[in-house]
Structure 1
Amino acid sequence: MTERKRAPLPHDFHPEVPSFTVVSEDLAPGAVLADAQVFAAGNTSPQLRWEGFPDRTGSFAVTCFDPDAPTGSGFWHWVVFDIPASVTELPAGAGSGTFEGLPAGAVHVRNDYGSKDFGGAAPPAGENHRYVFTVYAVDGEKLGVGSDVSPAVVGFNLRFHTLARAQLIGEYTGPVQ
């Protein structure tokens, strides 16, 4: 396994906000991602459930980001937003791109694979990467951006509209060939 200096986490540069809880039946904090969450094996977004967010939450956004990708800017695996405040769980596979398991009105934007869905882990051979699943409690029902913006534009808007944030970090090491 190749050891490199770890990149900062995606929220290290954002304003501090309160936290709440996100859990998954498919991923424990710090655990290795299951084959289902790997690009070549399953490409299935994990089940996520959250609680303890602010009462004034208008909607949620969910992202998966790899800060350790050898790009200089990380790698966005999943970005979905405008999830109604009444929804506190996404089933496994909700990031499939077909919107099955997502509530009406939820919006996917292109991930760094170029598709509007969840793209699983695929680090280079021997490299261990972190996959940061984040649920954002957003201050309005709509984030105010469309489905054709980049993940960076969504992140920019979340910086100014996040009331609280919860994250779950898993890891995966690329198989040595």
Structure 2
Amino acid sequence: MSLDRPVAPDPYDLLPPVPSFTVTSTDMTDGQPLDDMFTHPSVGGKNVSPQLSWSGFPAETRGFVVTCFDPDAPTGSGFWHWLVVNLPATVTELERGVDPLPGGAFCVRNDYGERNYGGSAPPPGDRPHRYVFAVHALDVDKLEVGPDASPAYVGFNLAFHTLARATIRPTYQVKG
């Protein structure tokens, strides 16, 4: 795998700007490598979703969506690892390995084709990949999407209903 390809843009730099709020994690740090626990079994990981908590979102928030996206995947369209849809506004934390999801929330299929968290698994020897975990504060209680919606369709709907967004960007690399 060539390490010479250009770095992909941050996906949220390409969308209209929205205000920010705070997302934190006891399991990961912005800009630092993910623990193997949060990586995919194909690279020896446990495929456990990391803990996330958030605060400081707009008072008019009516719901949340949590996503994880790898813009550095060698696909031309990145790679969706996690899409938690329709979290109630009263939910401000997801515990490590959350299952079941709270408040009627559900996952749409990630790019592994599964309706759950899919851990990091960049190609061996590729440069460190960024994993953009985002919490989207919504102006609606629920997005009008079902569990068979594609990640792109969820993202399209988010573009029209996101009041604010919080992100944390750990990295991961498989040594080649």
TM-score range, shorter chain: over 0.9
- 1:29-108 → structure 2 map (5 Å cutoff): 29-40=30-41, 41-94=45-98, 99-100=99-100, 102-108=101-107
Q: Which amino acid aligns with 1:123?
A: P
Correspondence for 1:158: 158
Q: Which amino acid aligns with 1:169?
A: R
Separation (CA, whole Å) in 2 of partners of 1:158 and 1:36: 29
Gaps of 5+ in 2: none
How big is the shift at 1:5? 1.7
SS of the aligned residue for 2:112 comes to coil
- 1:15-30 → structure 2 map (5 Å cutoff): 15-30=16-31
Name the one with the larger helix percent: 2
Separation (CA, whole Å) in 1 of partners of 2:4 and 2:48: 27
How big is the shift at 1:175? 2.6
Q: Which amino acid aligns with 1:58?
A: R
Matched, 1:136 2:136: yes
Separation (CA, whole Å) in 2 of partners of 1:104 and 1:55: 19
Separation (CA, whole Å) in 2 of partners of 1:43 and 1:175: 18
How big is the shift at 1:12? 1.5
Gaps of 5+ in 1: none
Separation (CA, whole Å) in 2 of partners of 1:77 and 1:56: 28
Change (3 A) 1:17 1:91: same
Correspondence for 1:122: 121
Q: TM-score, with normalisation over the residues of structure 1? A: 0.94
Spell out, residue by residue over 1:9-66, the C-alpha distance to the aligned partner (whole angstroms, 9 max, x if none).
1112211100000000000110100111110211011000000000000000000000
The count of aligned residue pairs is 171
Root-mean-square deviation over aligned CA pairs = 1.1
Q: Which amino acid aligns with 1:87?
A: V
| % identity of equivalent residues | 57
Separation (CA, whole Å) in 2 of partners of 1:175 and 1:2: 12
SS of the aligned residue for 1:104 comes to helix
Separation (CA, whole Å) in 1 of partners of 2:6 and 2:34: 21
SS of the aligned residue for 2:171 comes to strand
Correspondence for 1:171: 171
SS of the aligned residue for 1:83 comes to strand
Correspondence for 1:6: 7
How big is the shift at 1:4? 3.3
